[in-house]
A = this chain, B = another copy of it.
Amino acid sequence: MIVPAMTTDDSPRSDKVDQILQGALQEFLSRGYAGTSMDRVAATAGVSKPTVYHHFQDKEGLFCALVQHIAQVRFYGTLTPCPCAGPPVTTLRQLLEHMLESIAADDEYQDFVRLVIGESGRFPALARLFIIHITKPGIERVQSYLADHPELGLPDPVATAHILVGTVVYVTLTQHILHGQDLIALPQKRLVNALMALLLAKATPASEMSPDLEEVITGADDTL
């Protein structure tokens, strides 16, 4: 018996199936759909090629099953954590910072985004799975939080959630996925400060803003 190369221990459907999905994950994430060969998938999974074809109809079937599985299990809700309790101003800042940092630190998620976007023209159904299981839950969690805190004075929590999440995703895309970190200099704190300033400008006019609140908005230190 061959020991699986990379076991992250999931649901015990079938040992071989999980092995194959693990191998397919590695290969498809690093080489793309067309660049991946079933030979390499089988080798990386530690099984033979006919075993792969016994469990999955063909290359396309394996790819679709993999993306669906990953979107639902591995990366479900990756985009946003559960907002913790506390004053909205602090919570929102932490939320944005956590989103930026967790995506920036997750190379596998970045590869998954590359794969899904890259194949979205040829596999539109998979792109829509990504929207359903990852993008949409993230946006909805933010917009629920915004809607639950009317003291923020936001006229449109739904659109505002798109602006917040959109800005975070865009910056991650350019800085990390497209390797533009040194080409477009924009420190995380400066971006979050700007977002918070826009969000809170209406809720708290400058004339009513206390020094304490001002500090919370602009951040603890000003190393821009």
Interface residues in chain A, defined as those with a beta carbon under 8 Å from any beta carbon in chain B: 30-35, 111, 113-122, 124, 127-128, 130-132, 135-136, 139, 155-156, 158-160, 162-163, 165-167, 169-171, 173-174, 177-180, 183-184, 186, 190-191, 193-195, 197-199, 201-202, 205-207
Contacts and interface: CB of A to CB of B under 8 A. Distances in A.
Contacts of A207: 205
B159 A191 contact: yes
Contact of A114 (B120, B139, B171): B120
B202 A139 contact: no
B118 A115 contact: yes
How many monomers of this protein are in the complex?
2
Contact of A166 (B35, B114, B130, B167): B167
Given A31-B34, A114-B120, A202-B197, A170 B162 contact: yes
Contacts of A139: 184
Contact of A193 (B31, B122, B156, B166): B156
A82 to B, nearest CB: 21
B118 A179 contact: no
Contacts of A121: 30, 111, 114
Contacts of A183: 128, 131-132, 136
